[in-house]
Structure 1
Amino acid sequence: MNARTSESPVGITPNLFGIAYGLTGLAGCWGYAALLHLAPAVVSDILCLLAAVVWLTLLVSYVMQVQRRPGGWHAELTHPVLAPFVSLIPIVGMLLSIGLMRHDRATGQWLFGVFAIVTVVLAGWMTGQWIAGGLDLDKLHPGYVLPAVAGGLIATIGASLAGWSGLARVFFGLGLVSWLVVESMILARLYFRPPLPPQLQPTLAIEAAPPALAGLAYLAITHGKVDAVAFGLAGYTLLAALIQLRLVGVYRHLHFTSGFWAFAFPYAAVATFTLHWVVYAHPPGYRIWAWVVILAITAFVAALAAETTAALARHRFLPQLH
């Protein structure tokens, strides 16, 4: 995250999969807009393809490097800060499979099933590791919602789209209950312990994702039913978005690093959930409001991509391995 030096070689760490995660989140927003007949589906397809290229490139490099690192995979999966981000590998795989279902349903379903199994098994192993190995409360950060919470809720959406309604409800229970449990620990850490170190403060953006994902997952398993539960999840999503506005003062003092990609998927999830409510409320000029949401999140992710390109050119993006 600092300038590259000959003494400290750069490497691929699991949080870098947040780039592909963010791109698939934006692709999902465009895909949802296409489902609502608000935007062309081709943009979502292009973003999925770009995300797949980034994901595969990172995956090959990461797997090759982990084998040469001290402790290998065990060290990666037990790291107190970076371990939860390893779950992004199968989670992005699920998101890409969801995109593939639009074009090749059978292949998309098969791949989604594989990645969903890996996601759930990994979430179970990590949760067991946190129990068996213990956690340092001060090292707990919002990224800990990724394995079971984000994994379970995204699996809910994918299973619903695949036509596996029973399995979708199982995944929904996994993700929702995990959110209630893990989120309580994270909020306790954020409320009562010292602030996160600057390099981890971008992960605060992840807090916006669970309520929006829960809302989208609920809509998926109920086929778009708007009831008290949907409204309740919308209310909590609103609170999460307002919290992010308050945290702008924290974010603006940070230097750009790869960690900033933690903003992309959560904000894209909120934008996608917002699209549903814009269409549901159907205010005058609702299409204009929908496009404001779509273009705003697209511009935000494009800005992250531009900053990333500039940082790569200056050799100040990839983290150093010590």
Structure 2
Amino acid sequence: MSISLGTAGLGGAWQSAAATVSAPLWASDALFVLSGLVWVVLLAKYVLRGGARWRNVLDDLHHPGQGFTLAYVPIVGMLTAGHFSRYGLDGARWAYAVFATAAAVIAARLLAHWVTGGLSAAPLHPGYLLPVVSAPFISSSTASVLRLPELAAATFAVGVLYWLAFGTVVLGSLVAGGGSMPAPARPTLTVLVIPPATGGLAWMAAHHGVLDMIGYGFAGLLLFTLLIIAFLLPDVRQQSFHYGYWIFTFPVFASTNFLVRWLYGTGMSGRQAVAWSLLTAVSAAFLLLCAATFRHALRERHRAGHRVSAV
């Protein structure tokens, strides 16, 4: 699902560019359609392989390392509902209600599991912030787009509270752990940039794109966190390509989305050139990642065919 989420994240960045630097909106539409297609295919596979059973869903939620990834499903749904709301506000609101409720249920169930010792067998990592912090912020942004200001304020408050509470626990655990995070989980360190990016987007969406001191505060948090991630790159890089590389995409694209909005709000000279540079760079990275993913998939299929022939 990180493929779908990352694609939607880039669609959001292009949507912001369409609203600020006259980028074509069709590019954003195409990315959200692609994200939706991947979302439908993967969700269908999950359901067919047992995901329709509540017991299996609970088992996946309680997985100490990957339980948070189920939040990808309603997050992509909320982003897509908000983007295409111009084609029918009432329908988008109903879709948002379904996905926002699902996101809330997943986050609450995860927190209930975690506070009763469900994470004792695994080290904490920033991926756990996605359902309890980033999802509420994304819900707030979508509610603002759908003209539901009261709901936007409510979900924004949830995101802030659990960012302060749970984010402190996760960061403290990382510092106290002294580098004990296993290598496969280290890419989740990039998720640290998602809360300030999505929180900043939610705040600006609630204030109709106007940049105030709180907006500058989110920008400062994001830029400082990006600096931390820059120093962590040697630790998060992988030895060879695999599908897990897509976990890097949403943090990068969400940050780009907020920075495009922030640059426009500052009114600084040259903001259009900087925004287009950011958008071009992340779009090129997305295309390269797509090409690498297709190549990896073909190699895996080829290897599987060889194994079958050998048998």
Give the structure 1 partner of residue 307 of structure 2: none
Q: Which amino acid aligns with 1:176?
A: V
* Residue 284 of structure 2 is aligned to residue 299 of structure 1: yes
Decide whether the 8 Å contact of 2:210 with 2:265 is kept in 1. no
Aligned residues between the structures:
300
Give the structure 1 partner of residue 260 of structure 2: 275
Give the structure 1 partner of residue 59 of structure 2: 75
* Residue 152 of structure 2 is aligned to residue 168 of structure 1: yes
CA distance in structure 2 between the aligned counterparts of 1:236 and 1:107, rounded to whole angstroms: 35
1:67-146 to structure 2, matched below 5 A, reads 67=51, 72-136=56-120, 138-146=122-130
* CA shift for structure 1 position 39: 0.2
* CA shift for structure 1 position 303: 2.1
CA distance in structure 1 between the aligned counterparts of 2:224 and 2:71, rounded to whole angstroms: 26
1:29-44 to structure 2, matched below 5 A, reads 29-44=13-28
Decide whether the 8 Å contact of 1:157 with 1:220 is kept in 2. yes
- TM-score between the two structures when normalised by the length of structure 2: 0.91
Decide whether the 8 Å contact of 1:203 with 1:259 is kept in 2. no
Q: Which amino acid aligns with 1:280?
A: G
1:120-269 to structure 2, matched below 5 A, reads 120-136=104-120, 138-193=122-177, 194-269=179-254
CA distance in structure 1 between the aligned counterparts of 2:37 and 2:258, rounded to whole angstroms: 26
Gaps of 5+ in 1: 1-16, 317-322
CA distance in structure 1 between the aligned counterparts of 2:151 and 2:252, rounded to whole angstroms: 27
Tell me: CA distance 1:226–1:137, structure 2 relative to 1, closer, same or farther (3 Å): farther
CA distance in structure 1 between the aligned counterparts of 2:151 and 2:30, rounded to whole angstroms: 29
Q: Which amino acid aligns with 1:236?
A: L
Local SS of the residue matching 1:315: helix
* CA shift for structure 1 position 138: 4.4
CA distance in structure 2 between the aligned counterparts of 1:223 and 1:34, rounded to whole angstroms: 15
Give the structure 2 partner of residue 52 of structure 1: 36
CA distance in structure 2 between the aligned counterparts of 1:116 and 1:42, rounded to whole angstroms: 26
Decide whether the 8 Å contact of 2:21 with 2:272 is kept in 1. no
Tell me: CA distance 1:67–1:40, structure 2 relative to 1, closer, same or farther (3 Å): closer
Local SS of the residue matching 1:139: coil
* CA shift for structure 1 position 203: 0.9
CA distance in structure 1 between the aligned counterparts of 2:163 and 2:16, rounded to whole angstroms: 24
Taking every aligned residue pair, what percent have the same amino acid on both sides?
A: 34
* CA shift for structure 1 position 225: 3.0
* CA shift for structure 1 position 22: 0.3
CA distance in structure 1 between the aligned counterparts of 2:138 and 2:253, rounded to whole angstroms: 13
Gaps of 5+ in 2: 302-311
CA distance in structure 2 between the aligned counterparts of 1:280 and 1:150, rounded to whole angstroms: 22
CA distance in structure 1 between the aligned counterparts of 2:41 and 2:298, rounded to whole angstroms: 18
Decide whether the 8 Å contact of 1:200 with 1:259 is kept in 2. no
Tell me: CA distance 1:129–1:286, structure 2 relative to 1, closer, same or farther (3 Å): same
CA distance in structure 1 between the aligned counterparts of 2:185 and 2:167, rounded to whole angstroms: 17
* CA shift for structure 1 position 253: 4.6
* Residue 308 of structure 2 is aligned to residue 309 of structure 1: no
CA distance in structure 1 between the aligned counterparts of 2:269 and 2:116, rounded to whole angstroms: 55
Decide which structure has greater helix share.
2
Higher relative contact order (CA 8 A, sep 6+): 1
* CA shift for structure 1 position 72: 1.9
* CA RMSD, Structure 1 to Structure 2 (Å): 1.9
CA distance in structure 1 between the aligned counterparts of 2:245 and 2:278, rounded to whole angstroms: 20
Q: Which amino acid aligns with 1:93?
A: G
Tell me: CA distance 1:253–1:90, structure 2 relative to 1, closer, same or farther (3 Å): closer
